[in-house]
Structure 1
Amino acid sequence: MVQKHNQSGRNVNRRQVLQGVGGAGVIAVAGCLGNGNGDGDAPFEVQLEVNADNDDRVQMVELIAESMEQTGYFDTSIETYEWNTYVGRVLDTEYAENGHIAAIGLSGTFNPESFADALHQSDNHGQCCNLQGISDDELDDLLEGARFDMDVVEDSELRAERYDEIWQHLAENRYSSITHFDLLAPVISADLHGYSTYPFTEGLFDYGLYAPQDEQVSWLDRDEGSHPDDTDLGDLEEGGMLTIGAGANVDSFDVPYSNDTTSTMAQEFIFEQLVTSDADGNLYPWLAEDYELVEMQDIEREDYEDYMISVDADEDGVLGTDEQVIIQHPDDNPFTDDEVRVLTPDEAADAVDDGTFGMQFQYELREGVEFHNGEELSAEHVVATYERYENSDLSAQTFDSVLHAEEVDEYTVNLYAQVPDAEAERELPGVYIHSLEQADLEGGDMDPRQGNDPVGTGPYEFDEFVDEQYAEYTKFDDYWVEQQGVDSIDWYDGPAEFPDGPVVEEIEFEIIPDDATRSGALQNEEIDATFGLASGTLDEFDQSDEFLVEAVEAGSYDYIQYPVNVEPWDDSRLREAVNHLVPREQITENVFNGWAVPAWTDVPALAEELGTVDPDALEEQIRPYNEYDPERAEELLEEVVDDYDL
């Protein structure tokens, strides 16, 4: 039964969302677009692009395209691509030059920056997920000031005020249009007991299987007549195989060299981090037994100038170094300067040795934590992991804060932030710890397709992978929580009968890209759980006693992004006009059947505490920018047409 949304964002009444959307308006879901109207009379021709294997997203793009065409100003076409092909396409830095509108989904975090920075920070072009080469110095400064500043570290209200400035700036410039925030709604059979949903797709099942921070554990009970609504911890059963249906292939098991949701989900059974989070975003020590902020200094990136080296920059802004650039001098521009001053890992270590750093966190590691290959976790593993993240596909979001990782002794490691960082406690330890056996592998090689089965400290160890078909995992017999006991975790204060580790013995991760096939597999008892089903199907499962749909308002969202560097999309009036043609209410009602929340602002409920001073006031202020308003859109379009003489 879907429950009413509470302040933590943990549960959402999907039907209340549907009722709150209002009437369907003048637009129905578009039918068969894809070839444009072909009459050549519209002043703007535009190609919208989307991944073909997400039916709801395709329909959303069709609806937006239909809305654009109804104005008479647009001749639209839609191109669709298989998911992995599409991700590679839109993350290619040359994508920004083609003038297309990309539609894609992204999973944020509990931090508000992931709903602004990821899409718009200049440094994220080519990584996740500035697709269109957005570069706005004023916005970059606003993003920096809301996170990397001594004042906002010490004053959360000031931080929220600065984010309110960011939301206003984004509304006025409209580089991207976030259409909606998902209601994350996995569907599980009544054989899976105790399950609870995490608000981010990547952690759906590893969290559901075992999360002492929320006293969360799932088990299988295939006896007829046994229903999850009628069982509790006292009925827990050990063993069995949980079969999960995934909607895309596992692109890679190599954590720093993959950035798609399905791959991360598959990796999280195997790998762990120094800290963990509960479903409300509170942090707890995990592989680290304890940690503390040792020191914070009010410095800026310019303060590293004496440690920087100069490297050449070519006409495309590419720097002449193979080393990870930790910091680039703020006064240097690789697109206009022949040389640029940068701080690489060696110089960062020198700076730390001299006492130049923004923040120092110290982590005391748990002793006796064993990797699947028998290695024991030590500070050396942590340092080696950060080194492997250098120049990886995740380097931009790792080294936007990380300055240096330092081994103090066998079980103590220091992590340093470049400058004071309001998100350092969550972001600094945000890497998945590698074994030493695999820490020296080339990027992308930590993958069975490359002959290297992934090795971590997690509750399940990798067993087998058949590309495009399935991945299998087996419970790790020497999992550290099970060996040491959950009561050995200082902060744990749950019931005595809570188990010392997950109780499901095996996991099979079936790759079933087609929604209908995946839905049928669940109905035919071929799989026990799945996610990402078409919203029309969710209603049927929600009404059945044989399945459970537990929806939570999630941190994931869909958005379209405009080609801001291609005329006439560099004109904010054109982007604003299209944004007024995005029918958010109709998208959530007609496409998602209420299994989504319209994005009237760019920050969802789970990030509001840190991301705005007053959520209601913010919505009142920003919502008019995002209302469906064809009349205003046509006024803006006519201005652009006149100015460009189209």
Structure 2
Amino acid sequence: MVQDHKQSSIDVDRRRLLQGAGGVSIAAVAGCLGGDNGDEDAPIHVRLEVNSDNDDRVQMIDLISNSLEESGYFTTEIETYEFNDYTQRVMDPDYAENGYVPCIGLSGTFNPESFCQALHHSDNIGQCCNLNGISDDELDQMMDDARYGIDVADDDEERRERYDEIWEYLAEERYSSITHFDLQAGVMNTDVHGFRQNPFTESTFEYGLYAPQDEVVTWIDEDAHPDETDLSDLEEGGTLRAGLTEDPELFDPPYTTGANSTIVQVLIFEQLVVSDSEGNLYPWLAEDYELVESQDIDRTDYEEYMIEVDADEEGVLDTDEQVVVTHPEDSPIEDDTVRVLTPEQAGEAVEDGTFGMQFQYDLHEGIEFTNGEELTAEHVVATAERYENSDLEAQTYDSLLYAEEVDEYTVNLYAQIPDAEAERELPGLYIHSLEQADLEGGELDPDAGNEPIGTGPYELSEYEETQYIEYTKNDDYWLEELGLESKEWFDGSEEFPDGPVIDELEFEIVPDDSSRAGALQSDEIDMTYGLATDVLDDFEEDDDYVIDSVEAGGYEYIQYPMHVEPWDDERLRQAVNHLIPREEIVDNVLNGWARPAWTDLPELAEENGTTDAEALEEDIRPRNEYDPETAAELLEEVIDDYDLE
């Protein structure tokens, strides 16, 4: 039962909050958090948590807090944390037992499953964005059915129909409340030319600096305005100075889940494929790839290869091996022993021809890591092994069965069962050098004495924790050696370069939005992103700056504590959802730099995620609109049933 805390228990650190919030939002935040936090006699207490260094998010939570209190049914408190501390806090599996309502942002992919699975699939408890321990067997099965199996792998329409059922289910159960779809906005001075914003935060610089799949390349020119130049005016060399929103947690790809870490990793590490801004895939480290075979099997077909392992009362399995497949009929929570497939047995199954899908990748010959190693199939296999039992195991081994070296430059990646998203998910590994593939988790980091080694266009030259990161161009970058003519899919301009043209990158780590904006205005940096929307309006009106924006592949959300009464009652969650003023958040907090989330599906994932986007919104929007009267009706029922008065 949620306790009815009194006002004296409110522990908002107001000074820290106002320091974390930029100057543009201090007045708005101070006006609310400094006063009374609702009627002490209100029956339900809510503790909202948020990272203090995101001005817009803090204001949004404050607005939601006020809305809850104005209903007369809630008292609220707001607790704030610095971003890295906050993400570690909410990703802890034990966080689900606290009864708190966290706010955070999710960056997905072009696949619709990333906008429901990460938040709601029980495999992601403590792994990704399932912050409050949602574990719903029926929903897990629905998500699996929309992604896995020969019927959805071969039939896009069937897949879309199943996702429509998921959005309907989530609207009814309301485990999370998605508030809005962000806009990704890069702000730069007029020295920066050619930059284009990617829908995903983690690809901000990787994509903006060089993306031949969309003919994007950034260069520095101090003598002309970006509106007056095109590719024919490209200048090589120079330094790009940029402001980062956070210090990276690690430079170790399998052991970080935050976008702020990925932003700095992907300048060094690369994948077998690359995506354009519309989600189309192109071979990258791979010269080409193909789906060789797809077989109509399910996970029970691995039964003869499985071994038994013990499970304790909390469902923890007694094995140090990566669990690739768990027998669908076994439950780690309910059974003392569980049948599982580990990588060794997965290899045996593949050898016998038991697998869901086989993709074959032919690697470019002559690609070198910055330590001189030549990329081979062995590197891909070693990388897959390093992802075992990592922080990304749930996302990696939800599809991957086995990585197999065929010959020096050919590798097979096998999916466990037919998977509609395997083409994108299987090659989602950032390829390691053999020198670093055996490092312990978290050890691939300069703080551990290991400078990251990759195949990417830049090398880490200097890193001062919480202060700055500097890169220099990889003079032996493989694409410049092979030439874009090695990419059969490239049909762009002959003037387009064979690699990025900027020589040096200097990233200043400035978490505070207003300080980052000030650094841009005082010419300490050339560009940044993630600014508070009040500031974006100012930059948009100034001819000395350019803004490039696109609807993001992500959103903001709050998630309800399913393991604490009365939050396990969907009526309470539905009621709170009706008290979230989405339009007011977008108009008054975000100044129009966002779109209200009437459904859980961003525009970029609509093609595969719904049969009819307009019909989906028409159906679900009424359940997400601000509606205090409906909220009050639901809350009265909850209060009566739980005797909360």
Question: Under a length normalisation based on structure 1, what TM-score does the superposition of the two structures give?
Answer: 0.95
Task: Tell me the CA shift for residue 31 of structure 1.
Answer: 3.3
| One-letter amino acid of the counterpart of residue 123, structure 1 | D
2:38–2:69 Cα contact (<8 Å) kept: no
- 3-state SS of 2:31 partner: coil
- State how far apart, in whole Å, the 1-side matches of 2:403 and 2:115 are: 27
1:36–1:77 Cα contact (<8 Å) kept: no
| Matching residue of 1:15 | none
- 3-state SS of 1:530 partner: strand
Match of 2:418 among 420, 430, 433: 420
1:312–1:338 Cα contact (<8 Å) kept: yes
- State how far apart, in whole Å, the 1-side matches of 2:316 and 2:76 are: 35
Is 1:124 aligned to residue 124 of structure 2? yes
Question: Under a length normalisation based on structure 2, what TM-score does the superposition of the two structures give?
Answer: 0.95
- 3-state SS of 1:552 partner: strand
- State how far apart, in whole Å, the 2-side matches of 1:445 and 1:361 are: 31
| Matching residue of 1:528 | 526
| Matching residue of 1:429 | 427
Task: Tell me the CA shift for residue 353 of structure 1.
Answer: 0.6
Match of 2:235 among 237, 246, 249: 237
1:536–1:592 Cα contact (<8 Å) kept: yes
| Matching residue of 1:11 | none
Match of 1:335 among 316, 333, 336: 333
- 3-state SS of 1:478 partner: coil
1:31–1:62 Cα contact (<8 Å) kept: no
| Matching residue of 2:21 | none
| Matching residue of 1:489 | 487
- 3-state SS of 1:522 partner: helix
- Aligned runs of 1:15-54 on 2, under 5 Å? 31-33=31-33, 37=37, 39-54=39-54
Task: Tell me the CA shift for residue 551 of structure 1.
Answer: 1.2
| One-letter amino acid of the counterpart of residue 491, structure 1 | W
2:327–2:340 Cα contact (<8 Å) kept: yes
- State how far apart, in whole Å, the 2-side matches of 1:577 and 1:487 are: 58
Task: Tell me the CA shift for residue 483 of structure 1.
Answer: 0.7
1:121–1:134 Cα contact (<8 Å) kept: yes
| Matching residue of 1:20 | none
Task: Tell me the CA shift for residue 626 of structure 1.
Answer: 0.2
| One-letter amino acid of the counterpart of residue 455, structure 1 | I
- State how far apart, in whole Å, the 2-side matches of 1:420 and 1:326 are: 15
- State how far apart, in whole Å, the 2-side matches of 1:639 and 1:571 are: 11
Match of 1:319 among 317, 320, 325: 317
| Matching residue of 1:402 | 400
- 3-state SS of 2:148 partner: coil
| Matching residue of 1:63 | 63
- State how far apart, in whole Å, the 2-side matches of 1:406 and 1:618 are: 42
Task: Tell me the CA shift for residue 34 of structure 1.
Answer: 7.3
| 1:349-378 Cα distance to aligned partner (Å, 9 max, x none) | 011011100000000000000101110000
| One-letter amino acid of the counterpart of residue 121, structure 2 | Q
Task: Tell me the CA shift for residue 40 of structure 1.
Answer: 2.9
2:219–2:234 Cα contact (<8 Å) kept: yes
- State how far apart, in whole Å, the 1-side matches of 2:275 and 2:222 are: 30
2:153–2:418 Cα contact (<8 Å) kept: yes
Deviates more, 1:28-37 or 1:347-356: 28-37
Task: Tell me the CA shift for residue 103 of structure 1.
Answer: 0.3
| One-letter amino acid of the counterpart of residue 529, structure 1 | M
| Matching residue of 1:272 | 270
- Aligned runs of 1:99-248 on 2, under 5 Å? 99-223=99-223, 226-248=224-246
- 3-state SS of 1:550 partner: strand
| Matching residue of 2:546 | 548
Q: Percent identity?
A: 69
| Matching residue of 1:597 | 595
1:324–1:390 Cα contact (<8 Å) kept: yes
| Matching residue of 2:304 | 306
| Matching residue of 2:389 | 391
2:271–2:431 Cα contact (<8 Å) kept: yes
| One-letter amino acid of the counterpart of residue 160, structure 2 | A
- State how far apart, in whole Å, the 1-side matches of 2:512 and 2:531 are: 9
1:34–1:79 Cα contact (<8 Å) kept: no
- State how far apart, in whole Å, the 2-side matches of 1:356 and 1:323 are: 20
Root-mean-square deviation (CA, aligned residues, Å) is: 1.1
In structure 2, the CA distance between the partners of 1:349 and 1:111, relative to structure 1 (3 Å rule), is same
- 3-state SS of 2:32 partner: coil
| Matching residue of 2:16 | none
* Count of residue correspondences: 617
- State how far apart, in whole Å, the 2-side matches of 1:382 and 1:30 are: 52
2:459–2:473 Cα contact (<8 Å) kept: yes
In structure 2, the CA distance between the partners of 1:307 and 1:615, relative to structure 1 (3 Å rule), is same
- State how far apart, in whole Å, the 2-side matches of 1:47 and 1:102 are: 8
- State how far apart, in whole Å, the 1-side matches of 2:492 and 2:38 are: 64
| One-letter amino acid of the counterpart of residue 166, structure 1 | I
| 1:193-214 Cα distance to aligned partner (Å, 9 max, x none) | 0111111111111111111111
| Matching residue of 1:346 | 344
- 3-state SS of 1:557 partner: strand
| One-letter amino acid of the counterpart of residue 62, structure 2 | E
| Matching residue of 1:585 | 583
- State how far apart, in whole Å, the 1-side matches of 2:587 and 2:520 are: 25
| Matching residue of 2:25 | none
- State how far apart, in whole Å, the 2-side matches of 1:457 and 1:104 are: 32
| 1:481-523 Cα distance to aligned partner (Å, 9 max, x none) | 1011111211111111111111000001110111111001101
| One-letter amino acid of the counterpart of residue 183, structure 1 | L
Task: Tell me the CA shift for residue 39 of structure 1.
Answer: 4.7
2:38–2:72 Cα contact (<8 Å) kept: no
| 1:588-623 Cα distance to aligned partner (Å, 9 max, x none) | 011100001100000011000000000000000000
- State how far apart, in whole Å, the 1-side matches of 2:568 and 2:70 are: 23
Task: Tell me the CA shift for residue 37 of structure 1.
Answer: 2.7
- State how far apart, in whole Å, the 2-side matches of 1:141 and 1:514 are: 42
- State how far apart, in whole Å, the 2-side matches of 1:174 and 1:36 are: 29
Unaligned runs of 5+ in 2: 1-27
Task: Tell me the CA shift for residue 157 of structure 1.
Answer: 0.9
Unaligned runs of 5+ in 1: 1-27
Task: Tell me the CA shift for residue 29 of structure 1.
Answer: 7.9
Match of 2:437 among 426, 432, 439: 439
2:38–2:74 Cα contact (<8 Å) kept: no
- 3-state SS of 1:31 partner: helix
Is 1:467 aligned to residue 465 of structure 2? yes
| Matching residue of 1:377 | 375
| One-letter amino acid of the counterpart of residue 191, structure 2 | D
Task: Tell me the CA shift for residue 106 of structure 1.
Answer: 1.0
- State how far apart, in whole Å, the 1-side matches of 2:215 and 2:533 are: 30
- State how far apart, in whole Å, the 1-side matches of 2:269 and 2:518 are: 31
Task: Tell me the CA shift for residue 185 of structure 1.
Answer: 0.7
| Matching residue of 1:453 | 451
- State how far apart, in whole Å, the 1-side matches of 2:263 and 2:38 are: 42
- 3-state SS of 1:186 partner: strand
Task: Tell me the CA shift for residue 164 of structure 1.
Answer: 0.2
In structure 2, the CA distance between the partners of 1:188 and 1:308, relative to structure 1 (3 Å rule), is same
| Matching residue of 1:557 | 555
Task: Tell me the CA shift for residue 30 of structure 1.
Answer: 8.6
- State how far apart, in whole Å, the 2-side matches of 1:537 and 1:470 are: 23
| One-letter amino acid of the counterpart of residue 265, structure 2 | Q
- Aligned runs of 1:274-293 on 2, under 5 Å? 274-293=272-291
Is 1:96 aligned to residue 101 of structure 2? no
In structure 2, the CA distance between the partners of 1:608 and 1:38, relative to structure 1 (3 Å rule), is closer
- State how far apart, in whole Å, the 2-side matches of 1:604 and 1:263 are: 23
In structure 2, the CA distance between the partners of 1:31 and 1:331, relative to structure 1 (3 Å rule), is farther
| Matching residue of 1:3 | none
In structure 2, the CA distance between the partners of 1:387 and 1:34, relative to structure 1 (3 Å rule), is farther
- 3-state SS of 2:147 partner: coil
1:243–1:508 Cα contact (<8 Å) kept: yes
- 3-state SS of 1:564 partner: coil
- State how far apart, in whole Å, the 2-side matches of 1:35 and 1:44 are: 19
- State how far apart, in whole Å, the 1-side matches of 2:434 and 2:366 are: 16
| Matching residue of 1:506 | 504
- State how far apart, in whole Å, the 1-side matches of 2:284 and 2:246 are: 29
